[in-house]
Amino acid sequence: MTDTVRYLIRDARILGGERADLLLASGRIEAIGQGLSADGAEVVEAAGAVALPGLVDLHTHLREPGREDAETVATGSRAAAMGGYTAVFAMANTDPVADTAGVVEQVWRLGREAGYCDVYPVGAVTVGLKGEQLAELGAMADSPARVRVFSDDGMCVSDALLMRRALEYVKAFDGVIAQHAQEPRLTEGAQMNEGVVSDRLGLAGWPAVAEEAIIARDCLLAEHVGSRLHVCHVSTKGSVQIIRWAKSRGCDVTAEVTPHHLLLTDDLAESYDPVYKVNPPLRTAEDVQALREGLADGTIDIVATDHAPHPSEAKETEWSQAAMGMLGLETALSVVQHTMVDTGLLDWAGVAQRMSAVPARIGRAVDQGRPLAVGEPANITLYDPTATRVVDPAAMASKSRNSPYAGMTLPGRVLATFLRGVPTVLDGKIQ
């Protein structure tokens, strides 16, 4: 893999539209056109596959440092590449927590060493994610990792005053607070969506209002102080409605939805198999429908995976003892195709917006999420939407196996991923 090798992608459908060849050289797209000459370049036959700008995941857990048994920056970024990603934002809930310049710089460096995708560390909002005192946000922003996204993800910045201060403070370096919206008192011991299924299963409920109340408050706070707010993993119909309302008022809020919240519902918990345990929890079919509509109409800006690897012992246990979270990087595009494209809610240009351009813009990842145009960085995903596959966690690049889609047939396959002109995945295999 040296960047002196040039690649000619032959016969790709750019954003699912016109068929063209793309010539990649020196990390950039050198030419786009029909019948381009290979002229010594390595030829990659796309055979009508869809070319998308390299995907950007604003919400990934790479677990390093601290839980290298679940994932490392290297295995997680390989999983990202396999899923068509060229950039991921690594959440701060590591051990130690990424709440200092030292830790974010370490993660950033590990990402560069792995070389499978750009790893942007997310900085913690509060020291130790404890929600008591602001972390050194400015130091993280000024570090070589250039942190712009701050989140206590896993924990909610529930203290309204602290949230206000964080929103205000990051304005100094164009940062954004990505809030994990979960009112803590309303969700003490919560195990799954509160509703008919939780009542039947006797599992403590995680009510929708615990998410919606925080989102409403944060939107009003962001509006009041004129800051950027990003809402992580929106999961309820009510949240979609609140964000739609906030945007209509001019509030600078963006929001993400996970692939699993676009597809899976809370009745999967009937099996008590904790592979379906996630935070926020899987909701009802009505919520799923509202999330799809919200993503289609732009109320929800992006898809982010919340890829959350866990070792098997954290999942092969009683539901209430099990860890929350599920794998997502290697199935995200397939789930989005299944739920949004094949249903007619989005075209591939819309997918490119929501999985590449907009997440890059929110995270201020300057060389990511760029259009497929001459002179732009050659971050490209080739995806065959006509393929189908049965999801097999054992075959995944992630170190963990907790995929809720195990055994499901999903459409599509990532054929190749290029990071600045270099293939990280070719023929569906990691390079």
Partner 1 sequence: MRHLLSAGDLTRDEALLILDTARELAQVGERSVKKLPTLRGRTVVNLFYEDSTRTRISFEAAAKRMSADVINFSARGSSVSKGESLKDTALTLQAMGADGVVIRHSASGAARRLAEWVDGAVVNAGDGTHEHPTQALLDAFTMRERMGRLEGLRVAVVGDIRHSRVARSNVLLLNTLGAEVTLVAPPTLLPVSVDAWPCEVSYDFDEVLPKSDVVMMLRVQAERMNASFFPSAREYSRRYGLTAERFARMADHAIVMHPGPMIRGMEISAEVADSARSTVVEQVTNGVSVRMAVLYLLLGGAIQGPGHQGETR
Dist CA 200 CA 271 (whole Å): 12
Degrees, nearest 5: CA angle 106-111-112 = 100
Comparing CA positions, the residue from 55, 108, 49, 48 lying closest to residue 383 is: 49
Q: How far apart are CA 227 and CA 389, in angstroms?
A: 43
CB of 236 to partner 1, least distance (A): 15
- For residue 116, the minimal CB distance to partner 1 (Å) is 29
Report how far residue 112's alpha carbon sits from residue 127's, in angstroms, rounded to the nearest whole number: 26
Q: Which is nearer to partner 1, 105 or 273 (CB)?
A: 273
Cβ contacts of 141 within 8 Å, gap of 6 or more: 123, 147, 148, 170, 173, 175
**Residue in the block written with tokens 């991921």:** 88
Nearest distance in Å: CB 266, partner 1: 11
Q: Which residues pair with 86 in a beta bridge?
A: none
84 vs 207 by CB, closer to partner 1: 207
Q: Are 103 and 129 in contact (CB under 8 A)?
A: no
Provide, for the chain, the percentages of residues in helix, strand and coil under a 3-state DSSP scheme, each rounded to the nearest 5. Answer: 35, 25, 40
In the bound state with partner 1, the residue whose beta carbon lies nearer, of 273 and 376, is 273
Minimum distance from residue 200 beta carbon to partner 1 (Å): 7
Task: Return d(Cα 127, Cα 404) in angstroms, integer.
Answer: 32
Q: How far is the CB of 324 from partner 1 (least distance, A)?
A: 15
Q: Which of 21, 218, 306, 384 is catalytic?
A: 306
Residue 302 CB contacts under 8 Å (≥ 6 apart), including other chains: 58, 254, 255, 256, 257, 354, 355, 358, 359, 362
CA dist 258 and 278 (Å) reads 11
Q: Do residues 54 and 301 make contact, with C-beta atoms less than 8 angstroms apart?
A: no
Look up residue 281 and give its DSSP letter: P
Nearest distance from C-beta of residue 130 to partner 1, angstroms: 23
Cβ closer to partner 1: 284 or 356?
284
Binding residues vs partner 1 (CB under 8 A):
191, 194-196, 198-205, 207, 271-273, 313, 316-321, 406-407
**427 given a catalytic annotation:** no
Q: How far apart are CA 254 and CA 110, in angstroms?
A: 29
Contact 262, 288 (CB under 8 A): yes
Q: Which is nearer to partner 1, 148 or 277 (CB)?
A: 277
Q: Which is nearer to partner 1, 37 or 312 (CB)?
A: 312
- Least distance in Å: CB of 274 to partner 1? 9
Residue positions in the annotated binding site for substrate? 61-63, 93, 279, 310
Instruction: For tokens 């972390």, name the residue.
Output: 135
Find out whether 121 and 92 touch, Cβ atoms under 8 Å: yes
Residues 115, 118, 120: CA angle, nearest 5 degrees: 130
**Of 18 and 199, CB closest to partner 1:** 199
Which residues are annotated binding-site positions for Zn(2+)? Answer: 59, 61, 153, 180, 233, 306
Q: Which residues are catalytic?
A: 306
